Amino acid sequence: MERTFSIIKPDAVQRNLIGAILQRLENNGLTVVAAKMLHLSAQQAEEFYAEHKGRDFYEPLVNYMISGPIIVQVLQGENAIAKNREVMGVTDPSKAAQGTIRADYALSVRENSVHGSDSPESAAREIAFFFTDNEICGRNA
């Protein structure tokens, strides 16, 4: 069992897609073991995406991520990190495989509906960014 970190981003929350996206994740063997809705501050969004600081898309990305509430969640399952990325589809929705969340719901490369950790290291960092150990309800991974 593995854990990963997931966000349902502002464009998806705003369009009432929380349920549809959760259904996709759950249908693919990912179980929600922690979740909350919140509205990121600019400082939180800047820190969360610090690896992209200096890129031309960084500032608009931060502004978009603070444009409305999001769902942050921890997903647990077999190969959860890779499985979540597979169900999400690649960053650019026009290149994402058919049937993926981004292919079906994303509005643009920036407003691409979901986030998923890309490695065990980022999963650990991102989970700890939003959740304490006792907020996570799954059995030990």
- For 87, phi and psi rounded to 5 degrees? -70, -35
Of residues 48, 113, 115, 123, which has the active-site annotation? 115
Residue 112 makes contact with ligand DAT by CB under 6 A: yes
Residue 84 makes contact with ligand DAT by CB under 6 A: no
Q: Closest CB to Mg ion among 120 and 137?
A: 120
- Assess contact for 70 and 7: CB atoms under 8 A: yes
User: Which whole-number Å values give the CA distances from 78 to 23, 90, 92, 103, 139, in the listed order?
Assistant: 17, 20, 26, 23, 13
52 carries an active-site annotation = no
Residue 91 makes contact with ligand DAT by CB under 6 A: yes
Minimum CB distance to Mg ion, residue 137 (Å):
25
